[in-house]
Amino acid sequence: MPLSTSLLKTSAARLGFSACGVAPAGPVDDAVADRFRRWIAEGNQAEMAYLGNNVEKRLDPTLLMEGAQSVVSVALNYYPAQQLDASRQYEFAWYAYGHDYHEVMKARLTALAEALLANVEGNVHYRVFCDTAPVLERYWAWRCGLGWIGKNTQLIVSRAGSAFFLGEIIIDRPFDAYDHPVKSRCGTCTRCLDACPTGALGEPYTLNAARCLSFLTIEYRGDTLPPEAARAMGNCVYGCDRCQQACPWMRFARPTEVPEFLPKPEFLRLDHAALQSLSIDDYRHIFRGSAVKRAKYEGLMRNVQALYRLHHQVFSANEAEDGNLIIFI
């Protein structure tokens, strides 16, 4: 017997998910598959070699899980109610304010699957995913009717914005009703492309990770940042939200009500001086259970030091022009 789509969505809403949909499992559209293969062949994944692994599974969830018949996609809001003060604090990408989303999403996805199957007879097999397996998450969110993929490659939920974590349940049962893709509502807008400080969004719907500040400040393992990256960072030492901040749909964003995504008081107290002098013990305490651990202590401090040097070089140069050179030590 097919599973209930109504029960799925009711349970998802009860668990705090902002959007939920379901689509039949199967190969992604040929055009999407061709575009992804070309994106990899052109090296747009930069040093994230894992994105080029298991390509066939990434393009067909029935190869990822034997017997898969349906893909459930959900979105969980992470837009912060309280943001850091850029006048005295370095900025972090919004998604990193609270607890690591992988753990939060997997727990809620498992709870959703259990609620859906509580009164279902027979053996039902499923797997839950959140940015941890070869799944084209934004494609499946689009296929499941959650929203459309914007020109900045982010999933945009109508009248809600793009500050959402995505997760999936792949399951070996059909549903009694399936959702349909949402048409793009970006129109002729190019604000996200124009806002990218490094040109990583050189054309709509294509991200060059090697130029993206999110990659360079989080995934990149070099001892120093490329000079052009440091100059483009602005005030942000971890990640970058500028392409989604520029999106007109973000005016509809509402603060998250997920307790785990609320920032720790210690995080909100981190000013410039505190972060510049952050010890590894303080790092482990403040960012325990945080996605910021992805960059590691060395990576975060590399970013902080890059901005510190850049800002003080600029300030010193300005002072020199005024005849009042200040030496910083």
pLDDT tens column, 13-59 = 999 999 999 999 999 999 999 999 999 999 999 999 999 999 999 99
Instruction: For residue 22, give Cα distances in angstroms to 53, 174, 246.
Output: 26, 10, 29
Residue-wise pLDDT tens digits, 76-108 = 999 999 999 999 999 999 999 999 999 999 999
Whether residue 197 sits in one domain with residue 57: no
Q: 119 is in which domain, residue-wise?
A: 5-81+97-171
Whether residue 147 is found in the same domain as residue 22 = yes
Look at residue 322 in the predicted model and tell me its pLDDT.
46
Looking at the fold, whether 121 and 48 belong to one and the same domain comes out as yes
Determine the average pLDDT of the residues in 126-155: 97
Half-sphere exposure of 250 (CA within 13 A, CB side): 19
- In the chain, how many domains are there? 2
- Catalytic residue, candidates 131, 172, 271, 282: 131
pLDDT digits (tens, 9 = 90+) for 50-71: 999 999 999 999 999 999 999 9
Within a domain: 292: yes
Say how far residue 79 (Cα) sits from the centre of its chain: 11
CA separation (Å) from 316 to 229, 319, 329? Answer: 20, 5, 12
The overall average pLDDT reported for the chain is: 94
- Asked, for residue 326, whether it belongs to a domain, the answer is no
Q: Indicate whether 144 and 226 sit together in one domain.
A: no
- Specify whether 70 is located in the same domain as 208: no
Q: Is residue 176 part of a domain?
A: no
Position 315 in a domain? yes
pLDDT in tens, 188-240: 999 999 999 999 999 999 999 999 999 999 999 999 999 999 999 999 999 99
Per-residue pLDDT band for 326 (boundaries 50, 70, 90) equals very low
Confidence band for 329, pLDDT divided at 50, 70 and 90: very low
Do 20 and 120 fall into the same domain? yes
Considering the entire predicted model, what is its pTM? 0.93
Which of residues 111, 138, 171 is at a domain's end?
A: 171
> Is residue 186, in this structure, part of any structural domain at all?
no
Where is the domain boundary, 122, 140, 171?
171
| pLDDT of 247 strictly over 90 | yes
223 is catalytic: no
Check: CB of residue 127 under 8 Å from CB of residue 109. Answer: no
Cα–Cα distance for residue pair 317/304, rounded to 1 Å = 20
Q: Are 191 and 246 in contact (CB under 8 A)?
A: yes
Q: Which amino acid is at 172?
A: D
Does 328 map to a domain?
no
Evaluate if residue 149 carries a pLDDT over 90: yes
